[in-house]
Amino acid sequence: MLYDDLFVNLERARWNLSRDIDWEAIEPDKLTPGWIFDVREVCLTELSALYATEMFLRDFYADIDFCSFISVWFYEEMKHHLVLRKYLERVGEVIEEAELPRLRLSFDEGPAIETLTMHFCGEQRLAHWYTAFSANAPEPVLRQIFKVLAADELRHGAAYAKYLRKAVRNKPEVLPAILRMALWMIRTTNDNPKHPTTVTEPSVVSLLEDPHYIRRMLNMYLPGRDHEAPVQRRILALMSELAGTKLSSVRDLLTQIRALEETAAVAV
């Protein structure tokens, strides 16, 4: 089971809410109302780990290994919600528990391998976004928080990658579905950003006070078409490994998908 090693590795890298965040160093006067509002929206978006965990345990019911890992993922993701909520409280913004049930959401069932691929890509993208928010945040402790969250998302993405490798090793026929979902996730824009919290109907983000906050933040802190290059490189690196051939671009990925589909059609 991958869970055994993942538990140890993630525990070794885990940051401590009380010791590693310098709460006393927060400088509230450096925050604008806009930043406080956006951190609030990010905080509420992170609450979606609860809904995703329910989905994972349902759709991966027979996969004891993966469901075991999700116990760690859920703990660490809910800590993201908690650290942002505590930060907001320190600067005078309180999120009342009574307002949280209106954000409650259940995800429809879907092919588990596509869900796994989507979340691998989503973790890469969220790490990229958080890194940008860290670089642009006006307050030093907030910069630190977004930096540690970005590192967590990359570690989670690496864990999802291990489960994708395991899936292809056990059932090679799932590879085309993985590549197709990766292709769909790579094709994104700032005005229609693809992440597990944005692509369902309704989506996690659509229930927030400002359902366009991600779009707005990306256009402010990650403008232009080329900023996604690091995300694409990480996704394509794993797809290359799974496919056993070098995939350097979206076109390469599309070509590989078509080749696999043609091979499958001939076999049938």
Q: What is the 3-state secondary structure (H, E, C) of the chain?
A: CHHHHHHHHHHHHCCCCCCCCCHHHCCHHHCCHHHHHHHHHHHHHHCCHHHHHHHHHHHCCCCHHHHHHHHHHHHHHHHHHHHHHHHHHHCCCCCCHHHHHHHCCCCCCCCHHHHHHHHHHHHHHHHHHHHHHHHHCCCHHHHHHHHHHHHHHHHHHHHHHHHHHHHHHHCHHHHHHHHHHHHHHHCCECCECCCCCCCCCCCCHHHCCCCCHHHHHHHHHCCCCHHHHHHHHHHHHHHHHHHCCCCCCHHHHHHHHHHHHHHHHHHC
pLDDT at 267 over 80: no
First to last CA, the chain: 34
With cut-offs at 50, 70 and 90, classify the pLDDT of residue 7: very high
> Across-strand partners of 189?
192
Give the residues across from 192 on adjacent strands: 189
Measure the CA–CA gap between 51 and 125, rounded to whole angstroms: 19
State the residue for tokens 């197709």: 180
Report how far residue 262's alpha carbon sits from residue 259's, in angstroms, rounded to the nearest whole number: 5
Distance, in Å, from the CA atom of 80 to the CA atom of 258, rounded to the nearest integer, reads: 39
266 has pLDDT over 80: no
Answer whether 0.85 is exceeded by the pTM: yes
User: Each residue of 213-223: pLDDT tens digit?
Assistant: 999 999 999 99
Closest CA to 151 of 3, 12, 13: 13
Closest CA to 129 of 203, 202, 193: 193
To the nearest whole number, what is the mean pLDDT of the chain?
Answer: 96
CB atoms within 10 A of CB 37: 14
Query: Would you tell me how many other CB atoms lie within 10 Å of the CB of residue 14?
Result: 16
Predicted confidence (pLDDT) at residue 44 exceeds the cutoff of 80: yes
Q: Report d(CA 17, CA 15) in Å as an integer.
A: 7
Q: For 179-208, what is each residue's pLDDT tens digit?
A: 999 999 999 999 999 999 999 999 999 999
The predicted structure's pLDDT at residue 268: 63
Identify the pLDDT of residue 243: 97
Domains of the chain with CATH codes: 2-16+27-267 (1.10.620.20)
- What is the C-alpha to C-alpha distance for residues 124 and 120, in angstroms, rounded to an integer? 7
pLDDT (tens digit, 9 = 90+) per residue, 204-256?
Answer: 999 999 999 999 999 999 998 789 999 999 999 999 999 999 999 999 999 99
